[in-house]
């Protein structure tokens, strides 16, 4: 191409010659920007432990990806920013006091098994962050369900004791510590666990503004929604994905609520609690693992919403968003096959 040529060089391309589209790295970078306020709020709630966790997971994702690029002798794929999203999302789904070394493992597993194994960006079948989380959920069931209170007084000066646990050692029990820092009787249960095991409903306004216990970033539904509007407004995220997840959740929750309002929570509670908002806005909307066909997108979202409610109400776990999304990821090629768009004017 660049070889010296005595005549003027005319490069031939075929039409179209102009393009007007954000590039992949621009899209990914803007999703990272949209995630930053959620991260900041999480740090504000949980302090330096949450910050340390984000740094560790992001770093482990970046380093794993770099390592595999080096192994494959490929150009580094770090500049496309997709590994940063994986790292941040991963940290946001973990409890704030999650031991850092476990966070690092989640990052490594997410990138290697969830992404690189399938061929890197664009090829992953599942959302890599959720693959990482599913792995640590199975490997470290205690650590991943140990919640700490928000607004601990010393959260900016002191780590949550479990954060700094040494690899392969039992993390320090945080129950005692939680009692000392919490303002009123902290039970260590998330709103969903309270609902499920004790029949206690947390006020929806607390859920909306996010001052309840939970994973680092899945607490304020309002903030996540607001942050989601940015990439949607810039046409870098498909609004139909989160919208249909929320719709699916609402329909399914409303059904059970109408059956028996006494024992089932309201749809609003379902939508605002746990990781649903984070999952709907930032994980279900992962373009790569979701369908491309218009009806496929809607079905995919509805399935996630439906499964989330079913798992929450009838499954063994308190939270179902992760498995719902992973399941829908797996179903997405199938959804595509029977929702192919109808050709304009029909086929000849």
Partner 1 sequence: MNLPRLFNRKTFPHGIHPPQYKEETRDKPTRRLAFPDQVILPLLQNIGAPAIAMVRKGQMVERGELIAVAAPDKLSVPLHATVEGTIRDITLMSTAMGPKTRSIIIDTLPSSPQIPVSGKRQDYRQMSRAEIIAAIRDIGMVGLGGAEFPTYAKLATSLDYDIHTVIANGCECEPFITTDFRVMLENIKNLLLGMRIVMKAVAADKGIIAIEDNKLEVQAALQPHLPEDGSISVEVLQTKYPQGAEQMLIYALLGVAIPKGQLPATLGLEIINVATVAEIGALLPNSQGFIERTVTITGDDLEKPGNYRIPIGTSLQHILGETGFTGAEAELILGGPMMGQPVAFLDTPIHKGTGAVLVLDQRAAKNRDVYPCIKCAMCVEVCPIHLNPSTLGLLAYKHRYQEMQDQYHLNNCFECGSCSFVCPSNIPLVQLFRVAKAMNRERKVQ
Judged by the rule CB under 8 A, the positions of this chain that interact with partner 1 are 8-27, 80, 119-123, 235, 238, 287-294, 297, 336, 340-348
Residue 263: which residues within 8 A CB-CB, separation 6 or more? Answer: 199
Tokens encoding 106: 């989640």
Residue count of the chain, please give it: 348
Residues 270/255, Cβ–Cβ less than 8 Å: no
Minimum CB distance to partner 1 smaller for 141 or for 294: 294
Q: What stretch of H or E contains 308?
A: helix 294-314
The Cα–Cα gap between 308 and 324 comes to: 5
The minimum distance between CB 107 and partner 1, in angstroms, equals 21
The Cα–Cα gap between 226 and 223 comes to: 5
Minimum CB distance to partner 1 smaller for 67 or for 234: 234
DSSP, collapsed to helix, strand or coil, labels residue 23 as coil
Minimum CB distance to partner 1 smaller for 11 or for 260: 11
Tokens encoding 60: 């482990």
The minimum distance between CB 25 and partner 1, in angstroms, equals 8
The minimum distance between CB 230 and partner 1, in angstroms, equals 16
The minimum distance between CB 234 and partner 1, in angstroms, equals 12
Minimum CB distance to partner 1 smaller for 11 or for 184: 11
Minimum CB distance to partner 1 smaller for 218 or for 238: 238
How would you class 58 by CB atoms within 10 Å of its CB: exposed for 0-12, middle for 13-18, buried for 19 or more? buried
The minimum distance between CB 110 and partner 1, in angstroms, equals 17
Minimum CB distance to partner 1 smaller for 261 or for 341: 341
The minimum distance between CB 20 and partner 1, in angstroms, equals 6
The Cα–Cα gap between 39 and 330 comes to: 28
CB atoms within 10 A of CB 194: 18
Minimum CB distance to partner 1 smaller for 8 or for 185: 8
The minimum distance between CB 337 and partner 1, in angstroms, equals 10
The Cα-based distances of 74 to 78, 86, 119 in angstroms read: 11, 20, 12
Residues 249/270, Cβ–Cβ less than 8 Å: yes
């Amino acid at each position: 191409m660049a070889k010296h040529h005595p005549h003027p060089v005319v490069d031939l391309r075929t039409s179209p010659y102009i393009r007007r589209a954000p590039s992949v790295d621009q899209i990914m970078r803007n999703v990272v920007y949209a995630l930053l306020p959620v991260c900041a709020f999480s740090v504000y709630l949980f302090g330096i432990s949450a910050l340390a966790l984000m740094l560790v997971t992001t770093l482990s994702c970046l380093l794993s990806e770099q390592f595999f690029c080096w192994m494959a002798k490929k150009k580094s794929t770090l500049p496309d920013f997709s590994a940063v999203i994986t790292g941040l999302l991963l940290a946001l789904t973990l409890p704030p006091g999650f031991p850092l070394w476990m966070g690092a493992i989640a990052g490594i597993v997410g990138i290697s098994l969830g992404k690189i194994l399938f061929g890197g960006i664009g090829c992953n079948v599942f959302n890599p962050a959720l693959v990482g989380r599913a792995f640590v959920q199975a490997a470290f069931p205690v650590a991943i369900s140990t919640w700490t209170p928000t607004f601990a007084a010393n959260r900016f000066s002191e780590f949550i004791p479990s954060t700094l646990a040494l690899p392969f050692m039992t993390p320090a029990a945080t129950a005692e510590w939680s009692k000392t820092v919490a303002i009123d009787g902290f039970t260590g249960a998330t709103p969903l666990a309270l609902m499920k095991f004790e029949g206690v409903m947390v006020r929806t306004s607390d859920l909306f503004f996010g001052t309840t216990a939970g994973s680092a970033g899945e607490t304020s539904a309002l903030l996540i929604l607001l942050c989601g509007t940015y990439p949607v407004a810039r046409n870098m995220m498909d609004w139909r994905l989160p919208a249909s997840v929320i719709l699916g959740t609402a329909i399914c929750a409303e059904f059970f609520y109408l059956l028996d309002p006494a024992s089932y929570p309201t749809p609003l509670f379902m939508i605002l609690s746990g990781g649903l908002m984070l999952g709907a806005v930032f994980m279900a909307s992962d373009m790569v693992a979701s369908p491309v066909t218009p009806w496929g997108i809607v079905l995919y979202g509805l399935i996630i919403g439906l499964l989330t409610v079913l798992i929450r109400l009838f499954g063994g776990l308190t939270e179902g968003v992760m498995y719902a999304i992973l399941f829908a990821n797996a179903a997405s090629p199938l959804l595509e096959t029977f929702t192919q768009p109808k050709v304009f004017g029909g086929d000849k």
